[in-house]
Amino acid sequence: MGPEARFGSDLMVDAIKACGFPYVALNPGSSFRGLHDSLVNHGGNDPEMILCQHEKIAVGIAHGYAKATGDPMAVILHDLVGLLHGALGIYYAYVDRVPIVVFGGSGPQDASRRRPNIDWIHTANVQGSAVRDFTKWDDQPASVAAVPDAIRRAYEIAVTGPQGPVYVALDAGLQEDVLDPTHGIEVHPPRPPSRLAPDPDGLAHLADLLVRSERPVIVAGYAGRDAEAFDALVALAEMLPAGVVDTNARLSFPTRHPMNVTGSTVLADADLVLFVDTKDQGKPTQLLESTTRSVTSQIPAGAAIVELGFGDLGLSSWSHDFAHRYPAALTILADTGVALPLLAASCRRLVRADTEGEEGRRRRRAELAAVHAEVIAGWEETVRERWDETPVAPSRLVAEVGEAVASHDWVLAAGTAHGSALRQWDFDAPYRHPGRSLGTATQIGIALGVALGHRGTGRLVVTIQPDGDLMFDLGALWTAAKYDIPLLIVMDNNRAYYNDWEHQIRMAVHRGTPVENAVIGMDIAAPAPDFAAAARALGVAAWGPYEAGDDLASGLAEATRTVVEQGRPALVDVVTAHR
């Protein structure tokens, strides 16, 4: 076959390139061998391939990249088995409302073209059904002519709010078919629709309720994905004034702003609670007694509940990630990136007209600022009390890392040391943090994607990396080294799956069984992994393990210089206490 011939996979690459993806993450597979060849030779490795050691890491990198940049990244998964490997990553992208466009080789659906055995066991009738319950859309085009529209539409659906992952299976036979030179198949770039705007009357009603409220509290979810909404939320909280509880689904409010009352009991005094793009309304507002699974709402019975956001749009009938929602007096469906600036402007007009209420607003600002200061003082006291602990207390670890990165324009990627970083550092802009970490076996991939998204910006990306999570995906460090992804990885290495260990302790206390047995099946010790040695073996500069806090500063300083000056990943292994 001469080099002048064109193939179905060349047209697929044209459609992929029209979407403008900067990268495509993958683990190699024969079901997309035609597409792989076309990406390299027809497409000129544009988008650039990011080779990963597991499909879940490929999806995780795309997840983190999208959270950091707001733009989707492409992933290719090897037929059915690669899709099943990557399914956990796709599920978490769905839960986290992240746009990812996943491509998969499939078939050939024409059974006469299948290789014996291997193509049969790796082929499904409708491959997307494996992930259909937690993707926004999937397609399996049956002809080369149908591929460009499928890819274009997949992109448009992924980025339309509420955003999420999509999947397109590309038949191996179609990839390898020779194109008729006169095929006339056109490729069009995606044109996503405009964002969902609020009902004007509903927004006016909401503004009136907020301004007339004496003790409003705002619970923020995904609003911080949009920089304009982040700023508008600050303006809204200041003028009302309203205390803000940030769920950290995305960083939606500055952590050191005096209206930030996250971690306080302010909700118990609220007369109105506004949920802003908050999918799970229960966790930030309910007290949990873990052993008995009983929950108690912190919101007073008489408080008005109102919400602004996507509501129940985009929910799966399979996954219960929609979580708890209160009965609301008013629900406005809208993209908060559009709605919050409009709401702030409406409230501003009402506040300016209400001159008699200004004294009350001044007192409320002072009250909220005092609550904020008290919360911060409590967290600072915790750091002081645990400073000299060995192993290193997570609060001291966070303080030491904060000192190491303070002189840089930093970004915290996935891990927060159980929220300790959010309590100690000054997160003053939405790009400082893309939102809370997710489940075990997701954090290192997402962190690499965040670092990839910020590469070339001059920002220093750091992640506080749990040991159990990295044990799932050590191979991700090799990808970081191969592509010089500049990421400072600081291990929060408590040598245990301690979240689950803590549950076993609760069960033992509740049931009267031996507490000392709770460690069985939970510790990551005997042998204790040497993460620094593992990192060096995979090409990542590394320091540690450090078991005492006084040893940390020099290692962190050297690792930080490596990331900043050489543009390489670096790891610092720190042995930490259990919480």
The answer on 430 and 319 residing in a single domain is no
Q: Which of 160, 176, 192 is the last residue of a domain?
A: 176
Question: Cis bond leading into 47, ω under 30°?
Answer: yes
Of 332, 270, 324, 279, nearest in space to 298 by CA: 270
In a domain, 398, yes or no: yes
The residues that bridge with 101 in the sheet, in sequence order, are 74, 166
The answer on 26 and 55 residing in a single domain is yes
pTM of the model: 0.97
- Which domain CATH number covers 363? 3.40.50.1220
Compute the chain's Rg from CA coordinates.
25
Cα separation, 521 vs 518, whole angstroms? 8
What are the pLDDT digits (tens) for 26-40? 999 999 999 999 999
What are the pLDDT digits (tens) for 177-196? 999 888 889 999 999 999 99
* Phi then psi dihedrals of residue 331, to 5 deg: -125, 125
Cα separation, 123 vs 116, whole angstroms? 12
Cα separation, 165 vs 322, whole angstroms? 16
The answer on 546 and 398 residing in a single domain is yes
In a domain, 63, yes or no: yes
Instruction: Give the pLDDT score at 259.
Output: 98
The answer on 208 and 164 residing in a single domain is no
Question: Cis bond leading into 141, ω under 30°?
Answer: no
Instruction: Give the pLDDT score at 291.
Output: 87
The answer on 530 and 428 residing in a single domain is yes
Cα separation, 104 vs 32, whole angstroms? 7
In a domain, 190, yes or no: no
In a domain, 446, yes or no: yes
Residue 100 pLDDT exceeds 80: yes
Of 385, 425, 390, nearest in space to 408 by CA: 425
What are the pLDDT digits (tens) for 371-403? 999 999 999 999 999 999 999 999 999 999 999
The answer on 367 and 226 residing in a single domain is yes
Of 90, 78, 87, 163, nearest in space to 123 by CA: 78
In a domain, 186, yes or no: no
Of 64, 74, 92, 88, nearest in space to 446 by CA: 64
Q: What is the mean pLDDT of residues 484-495?
A: 97
* Phi then psi dihedrals of residue 540, to 5 deg: -105, 130
Instruction: Give the pLDDT score at 2.
Output: 59
Quick count: other Cβ atoms within 10 Å of Cβ 377?
10
Q: Which of 340, 371, 402 is the last residue of a domain?
A: 371
The total domain count for the chain is 3
The answer on 237 and 129 residing in a single domain is no
DSSP category for residue 240: T
Residue 488 pLDDT exceeds 80: yes
Cβ atoms of 497 and 440 closer than 8 Å: yes
Q: Where residue 1 falls among pLDDT bands split at 50, 70, 90?
A: low
What are the pLDDT digits (tens) for 192-218? 999 999 999 999 999 999 999 999 999
Range of the domain at 536: 386-575
Q: Where residue 3 falls among pLDDT bands split at 50, 70, 90?
A: low
Looking at beta carbons, which pairs linking 88-91 to residues 24 or more positions away fall under 8 Å?
88/56, 88/441, 88/442, 89/55, 89/56, 89/57, 89/58, 89/59, 89/60, 89/63, 89/442, 89/445, 90/59, 90/131, 90/134, 90/135, 90/165, 90/167, 91/131, 91/134, 91/319
What one-letter code names the amino acid at 474?
L
The answer on 481 and 537 residing in a single domain is yes
Instruction: Pick the range with the lowest mean pLDDT from 232-246, 248-262, 284-298, 381-395.
Output: 284-298
Residue 543 pLDDT exceeds 80: yes
In a domain, 376, yes or no: no
In a domain, 377, yes or no: no
Q: Is 244 helix (H, G, I), strand (E, B) or coil?
A: strand
Q: What is the mean pLDDT of residues 117-138?
A: 93
Structure tokens at 524: 């990551």
Residue 242 pLDDT exceeds 80: yes
Instruction: Give the pLDDT score at 189.
Output: 97
Residue 406 pLDDT exceeds 80: yes
Cβ atoms of 496 and 578 closer than 8 Å: yes
- Percentage of the chain exceeding pLDDT 90: 92
The answer on 414 and 558 residing in a single domain is yes
**Sheet of 460-466, strand order:** 410-412, 460-466, 488-493, 570-575, 541-546
Cβ atoms of 544 and 574 closer than 8 Å: yes
Average pLDDT, the chain: 95
Q: What is the mean pLDDT of residues 544-559?
A: 95
Strands (DSSP E) found in 444-505: 460-466, 488-493
Cα separation, 241 vs 470, whole angstroms? 42
Task: Go through the chain and tell me how many residues it has.
Answer: 579
Q: Where residue 290 falls among pLDDT bands split at 50, 70, 90?
A: confident
The answer on 304 and 224 residing in a single domain is yes
Cα separation, 59 vs 85, whole angstroms? 10
Instruction: Give the pLDDT score at 198.
Output: 98
What one-letter code names the amino acid at 322?
F
Q: Which of 330, 348, 371 is the last residue of a domain?
A: 371
The answer on 254 and 165 residing in a single domain is no
Q: Is 542 helix (H, G, I), strand (E, B) or coil?
A: strand
Q: Where residue 322 falls among pLDDT bands split at 50, 70, 90?
A: confident
- Which domain CATH number covers 512? 3.40.50.970
Residue 23 pLDDT exceeds 70: yes
The answer on 163 and 43 residing in a single domain is yes
Cα separation, 348 vs 565, whole angstroms? 46
Chain centroid offset of residue 466 CA: 16
In a domain, 193, yes or no: no
Instruction: Give the pLDDT score at 371.
Output: 98
Quick count: other Cβ atoms within 10 Å of Cβ 115?
11
